[in-house]
Amino acid sequence: MELGLKGKKALITGASYGLGHACAVSLAEEGVDIAISSRHVDKIDLVSAEIAAKTGVKVVGIAADLTKMEDLEKTAREAQERLGEIDILIVSTGHPPTYPFSEATDEQWQYGHDLVLRPPIVLTRMLLEGMRKRNYGRVIYIGSIFGIEAEASSVVQSTLRTGLNALTKCIATEVAADGVTVNVICPGYFDTPLVHELAKQYATTHGVSAQEVVNAWKYSAPVKKFGKPEDLGALIAFLASPKGEFITGTAITIDGGAVKQY
Give the confidence band of 56 by pLDDT, cuts at 50, 70, 90. very high
CA angle at 28 for the pair 91 and 75, rounded to the nearest 5°: 40
Tell me, what's the pLDDT at 138? Answer: 99
What are the pLDDT digits (tens) for 109-142?
Answer: 999 999 999 999 999 999 999 999 999 999 999 9
Mean pLDDT score of the chain: 94
Mean pLDDT of 63-73: 97
Tell me, what's the pLDDT at 216? Answer: 84
Higher-confidence residue of 169 and 17: namely: 169
**Strands 59-63, 88-91: pairing kind:** unpaired
Domains and CATH numbers, the chain: 9-188+228-254 (3.40.50.720), 191-226 (no CATH)
Q: Residue 137 and residue 130: Cα distance in Å, rounded?
A: 8
Is the pTM higher than 0.85? The answer reads yes
Q: Residue 81 and residue 11: Cα distance in Å, rounded?
A: 12
Asked if pLDDT for residue 144 goes beyond 70, the answer is: yes
Asked if pLDDT for residue 214 goes beyond 90, the answer is: no
β-sheet bridge partners, residue 90: 12, 140
β-sheet bridge partners, residue 37: 62
Whether the Cβ atoms of residue 145 and residue 253 lie closer than 8 Å to each other: yes
Tell me, what's the pLDDT at 217? Answer: 83
